[in-house]
Amino acid sequence: MNIFLASSEVHPYSKTGGLADMVGALGKTMVQAGHRVGVVTPLYLGVRERFPRMMRLGLPLDFPLGMNRASGEAWSLEPMEGLTVYFVDQPALFQRSGLYEQYGIDYADNAERFMFFSKAVVHLALHLPRKPEVLHLHDWQTAFAAVFIHHQRRLPQWHAAPRTCLTVHNMAYQGLFPASQYALANLPWDYFVPDGVEFYGQTNYLKAGIAFADLLATVSPRYAREITTPEYGCGLDGLLRHRSAALSGILNGVDYDEWNTTKNPCLPYPYSVNDLTGKSANKRELQREFGLPEIGDVPLFGSIGRLVDQKGVDIMLGALEQMLGANLQFVLLGAGMPRFECAFRALASRFPSQVAVRIGFDQALSHRIEAGSDFFLMPSRFEPCGLNQMYSLRYGTIPVVRATGGLDDTVIDIRDDRDRANGIKFSVYSSPALAKAIRKALALYAEPELLQWFRRNAMAADFSWEWTAKQYVALYERMLATARPQPTG
Ligand code: ADP
Ligand code: GLC
C-alpha cells in the first residue's frame, strides 16, 4: 500500500512530545511490513544541517493564504528504502527556535503556519508521481488537509484524491483561531458551519479534520471512549458521538530499537530482566548526576514530561509535599509552564538531599532517568496514550499512574490482575490519592521479592509497533474496500 503520513513533528527530525515518536515509528514499521511510506513535515531550524543528505525536490509550493500568497519548496530524504521524508521549507514560517511557541507563548501566526503546511501536504499528496492511496493526518496542525481533500472531491479530477484518516493525539489542542482566519483556507464559506469548521464563532482546525476525514482514530481504546463524553471531549464530544462509527482507538507502540536496556548508547550500564545489577549502577550514576546522596536502598522516583495541566503537575507537587517526610528521592526532567518550573525548582531548593530537577529537554537524560529510577510518576489528569509509562515498563521501572486513557490501558495494578501486576494505579484526581499510591510504592519497595515480580512482569510487557501498524493498515484496508466517497456539491 502507498501511504502518506503528515505531522508537525517527527522523530528524529523534530520533537516536543510523543507525537514525534509515534509518527516516526509508525512510518518505519509500515515500511518494514512492505508498504511504501511518505512522511511530510515542516523543515524547522537546523534540520537541514543535521541531515545534509536531504535533497531539493524541485516542486515549488506556492499557495494563496487569504489575501496574501506564500511560497516555499520541498526537500526529500530517504532514511531507509521505501521511506521518503518530505520537508516543507518556508523559512519565514518554520525557521524558528521553537516548533509552536516561544517562552510559553504560542506564535501569533500559527494559523497561517499550519494552514500553509496543510496546503503543502495536500499538494504533495496530489502531485508527487507516486500518489498515496491513504493520507494519514495527525493532530490539528494537519487536520485542515481533510477539508481540502473533501473539497477536491467536488472537482472534476476528484477521483485522484486519496482517502483520509485523522489520528487525534490530544483533544486539548485544537488550533482555535478567530473566525477571520478561516479566510486563510481560501475555501467557500459553506464549510464554516456548526457541523463543519466553525466552533462557537471561531475557526477550529481539529474540528475541521474530525468533521471531514473519512476515518478517525485516537491513540488508545479507553481515550477513544472518553472523548465521546463531555468530561474529556473538550467541546467536541457531540461531533465525536455523531462520527463514532468512523472512530477507532488504537494503542501506540514502543520503538524497542531505541527504548531498550541492553543495547542503548544513552545508558552507562546495560541490564536485563535476568541481571539487574546494571540497573542499580544506573541508579547510582543518576543520583550522582543529579547531586543526590548515592544511597542504594532509598526508593528513587522519576518523572519526565511537559509541565502542563494535563500531566497532573499540581497533584504531583501536592503529593510530594505530603510524602517528603518519608525516605525517598525524586528527580524530574521537564519544561513547560513557568509557574510549574518555578514550583519544582523551589521544592528542590527546600529538599536538596531528596529532590533534584532539570528544566529543559534532553533525550539522552530521559533514558537515564527511565533506567535509574525505581518508580515513574505519571499522575495525568487525562492521557490519550502516554509513552513514558510504556518506556518505564521496559526499563523495569514501576509506573505509578492515574487510571485514565492509555495509562489505564497499559499499566496493570495488582487489583486488576495479581499474576500480571506491573504498576500502581489510582483513580481520583487528587494529591492525597497520589500520595496513597506513593505509599503503596514504598511498601512494594520494602518487599524485594514482590518488587522483582512486578519488574519481571513490567519488562515482559510487549507494546511493539508491529501490532499497532497492523491495526492501522487493517483500518486503511477497510476504508479502501468501501465504496469511494461520491463527489459532493
Ligand atoms: P506527550 O506527548 O503528551 O508529551 P508522551 O508520554 O506520549 O506525552 O510522550 C512524551 C515524549 O516526550 C516521551 O518520549 C518523553 O520522553 C519525551 N519528553 C517529554 N519531555 C521531555 C524532556 N523534558 N526531555 C526529554 N524528553 C522529553
Ligand atoms: C499526545 C498525548 C500523549 C500521546 C502522544 C502520542 O501528545 O498527550 O498521551 O502518547 O500524543 O500519541
Mutate to test the pocket of ligand 2, among 387, 402, 465 (most ligand atoms within 8 A of CB): 387
Distance in Å, CA 169 to ligand 1 centroid: 13
pLDDT at site 488: 55
Give residues with Cβ within 8 angstroms of 335, minimum separation 6. 306, 307, 341, 359, 360, 361
Contact 433, 245 (CB under 8 A): no
Residue 487 reports pLDDT greater than 70 = no
**Mean residue pLDDT across the chain:** 96
Please give the average per-residue pLDDT across 282-304, as a whole number.
97
Query: Which ligand has the shortest distance to the CA of 250?
Result: 2
Residues with CB under 6 Å of ligand 1 are 17-19, 21, 304-306, 333-335, 361-363, 366, 385-388
> pLDDT value at position 155?
82
Ligand nearest to the CA of 384: 2
How far is the centre of ligand 2, averaged over its atoms, from the C-alpha of 112 (Å)? 24
Distance 17 CA to ligand 1 centre (A): 4
368-387 b/e with 16+ CB inside 10 Å = b? bbbbbbbbbbbbbbbbbbbb
Convert the pLDDT of each residue in 52-78 to its tens digit: 999 999 999 999 999 999 999 999 999
Among 101-105, 123-127, 190-194, 445-449, name the one with the lowest average pLDDT: 101-105
pLDDT of residue 107 exceeding 80:
yes
Query: Which among 197, 203, 201, 181 has a CA at the least distance from the CA of 65?
Result: 181
| pLDDT interval class at 159 (50, 70, 90) | low
Q: Which helix (H) or strand (E) holds 142?
A: helix 140-152
- Residue 217 CB–ligand 2 contact under 6 Å: no
Rounded distance from Cα 222 to ligand 2 centre (Å): 13
On the question of pLDDT at 6 being above 70, the answer is yes
Residues 470, 458 share a domain: no
Please provide the DSSP assignment of 466-482 as one string: HHHHHHHHHHHHHHHHS
C-alpha–C-alpha distance, residues 304 and 284, integer Å: 18
**Domain enclosing residue 417, as ranges:** 277-462
Q: Confirm whether 264 is domain-assigned.
A: no
The reply to whether 373 falls in a domain is: yes
Distance 16 CA to ligand 1 centre (A): 7
Are residues 306 and 209 part of one domain? no
Q: How high is the pLDDT of residue 97?
A: 86
Is 252 touching ligand 2 by the criterion CB < 6 Å?
A: yes
Whether 46 shows a pLDDT value over 90: the answer reads yes
Q: How far apart are CA 300 and CA 267, in angstroms?
A: 17
User: Do both 227 and 289 map to the same domain?
Assistant: no
CB of residue 249 inside a 6 A radius of ligand 2: no
Average pLDDT over residues 217-229: 98
CA dist 306 and 418 (Å) reads 32
Pair (430, 456) in one structural domain: yes
Within 13 Å and on the Cβ side, how many CA atoms surround 142?
31
Residue 415 makes CB contacts below 8 A (sequence gap 6+) with 425
Same domain, 231 and 146: yes
Mutate-to-test residue for ligand 2 from 11, 141, 169, highest number of ligand atoms within 8 A of CB: 169
Indicate which CATH number applies to the domain containing 71: 3.40.50.2000
Verify that 423 and 474 share a domain, yes or no.
no
Give me the percent of the chain exceeding a pLDDT of 90: 94
Strand extents, DSSP E, 308-460: 329-336, 355-359, 375-378, 398-402, 424-426
283 and 134 housed in the same domain: no
> Could you tell me the pLDDT band of residue 103, with boundaries at 50, 70 and 90?
confident
Q: Judge if the beta carbon of residue 170 lies within 6 A of ligand 2.
A: yes
Average pLDDT (450-469) is: 97
Ligand nearest to the CA of 170: 2
CA gap 11, 25 in Å, rounded: 8
Q: CA–CA separation, 297 vs 397, rounded Å?
A: 15
* Strand 300-307, strand 247-249: pairing: unpaired
Judgement on whether residues 285 and 320 belong to the same structural domain of the protein: yes
Q: Is residue 312 part of a domain?
A: yes
pLDDT single digits (tens) 244-278: 999 999 999 999 999 999 999 999 999 999 999 99
Rg (Cα) of the chain, in Å, rounded?
23
Same domain, 476 and 350: no
Ligand number with the minimum distance to the CA of 169: 2
Atom of ligand 1 nearest to the CA of 385: 7
Residue 295 C-alpha cell reads as 544511597
**Which amino acid residue places its CA nearest to atom 14 of ligand 1?**
18
Please state the atom number of ligand 1 nearest to the C-alpha of residue 16. 12
Q: Read off the pLDDT of each residue in 183-206 and give the average, rounded to a whole number.
A: 97
Whether 270 maps to a domain, the answer reads no
Whether the CB of 305 sits within 6 Å of ligand 2: no
250 ligand 2 Cβ < 6 A: no
* Same domain assignment for residues 244 and 311: no
* Contact yes or no for 254/465 (Cβ under 8 A): yes
| The residue to which cell 511510506 is assigned | 37
> pLDDT tens digit string along 363-410?
999 999 999 999 999 999 999 999 999 999 999 999 999 999 999 999
Please tell me the number of the ligand nearest to residue 16's CA.
1
263 lies in some domain: no
> Quick one: 31 and 141 in the same domain?
yes
Q: Is 374 in the pocket of ligand 2 (CB under 6 A)?
A: no
Give the ligand at the shortest distance from the Cα of 389: 1
Query: What phi, psi does 167 have (nearest 5°)?
Result: -95, 125
- The answer to the question of residue 271 being in a domain is no
Q: Is residue 261 part of a domain?
A: no
- 259 located within any domain: no
| CA count, 13 A, side-chain hemisphere, 222 | 15
Q: Does 37 share its domain with 139?
A: yes
Question: What does the DSSP assignment read for 242-280?
Answer: HTGGGEEE----B-TTTS-SSS-TT-SS--BTTBTHHHH
Count of structural domains within the chain: 2
